[in-house]
Amino acid sequence: MAARPRVGVTGNARRWAPAWWCTSLALRLGGAVPERVSVRHPPSGKPLDALVIGGGNDIGPEHYDGDIDAKVRLDPERDLLEIEWIKRAISERIPVLGICRGAQLINVVLGGNLHQDIRSLRVKTNNRPGLLPTKRVRLEAESEIARICGTLVIRVNSLHHQAVDNPGDGIKAVGWDRDEIVQAIKSEAGRPIIGVQWHPEYLFYLPSQLALFRWLLAQAKQ
């Protein structure tokens, strides 16, 4: 019997962490062994076959030349921890799924920047946060993420007020909301990296969303 892939899941260090529990469940449904990684949850040392960079607080603006005086909720220790994991994943070709903040941080690590606050850019899409799939996202035709999700238009949830602005080195935008704000990215450099601006861990009951985790595990087994 083949060993189950081991997947590191980064996130906040709080005991009550719904994103961790939902991501863990989605990965277990795909046959993986999830391992929590945070500033209070050191890695076990066992090799990781894939990595999920989870959502959460804003990224420190010093990492992408943002406004350091802006009022944002930061977690500097987590920033540094996840930056190192992303760099390691890129170096060792470990498959990565970035979720919300995670997608943004992947972009930042590769030299891109962010819209520090998208609220003023919203015209056709409201800013009310929600866990239900009420927002419409258009995926690039013939893109890998469209193939994974099985659709060119997908309904997603939305919990963010920041987003990818200029893509980083080797990063391509492949999904947009109705205001043309980036909602999905992928690596063009042959690296198994996908990032989504929404939270598929809270939508794992939908086949199109669970498919993102199944893609990660398929990449881990290659």
Residue 100 among the catalytic residues: yes
The catalytically annotated residue of 22, 82, 149, 199 is 199
Percent of the chain past pLDDT 70, that is, above it, reads: 99
The catalytically annotated residue of 82, 100, 149, 160 is 100
Residue 181 CB contacts under 8 Å (≥ 6 apart), including other chains: 115, 118, 121, 125, 163, 197
Mean pLDDT value of segment 204-215: 98
Mean of the per-residue pLDDT values of the chain: 94
pLDDT recorded at residue 69: 75
pLDDT recorded at residue 29: 97
For domain 6-221, give the fold. Answer: Rossmann fold (3.40.50)
Distance CA 86, CA 156 (A): 25
pLDDT recorded at residue 73: 76
pLDDT tops 80 at residue 72: no
The catalytically annotated residue of 22, 115, 160, 201 is 201
Q: Write out pLDDT tens, residues 77-99.
A: 999 999 999 999 999 999 999 99
Query: Where exactly are the structural domains of the chain?
Result: 6-221
Q: Write out pLDDT tens, residues 100-153.
A: 999 999 999 999 999 999 988 999 987 778 899 999 999 999 999 999 999 999
Using an 8 Å Cβ cutoff, are 165 and 113 in contact? yes
pLDDT tops 50 at residue 1: no
Q: Write out pLDDT tens, residues 199-208.
A: 999 999 999 9
Give the closest residue to 20 by CA, choosing from 4, 6, 38.
Answer: 38
pLDDT recorded at residue 36: 98
Residue 201 among the catalytic residues: yes
pLDDT tops 70 at residue 222: yes
Mean pLDDT value of segment 181-208: 96
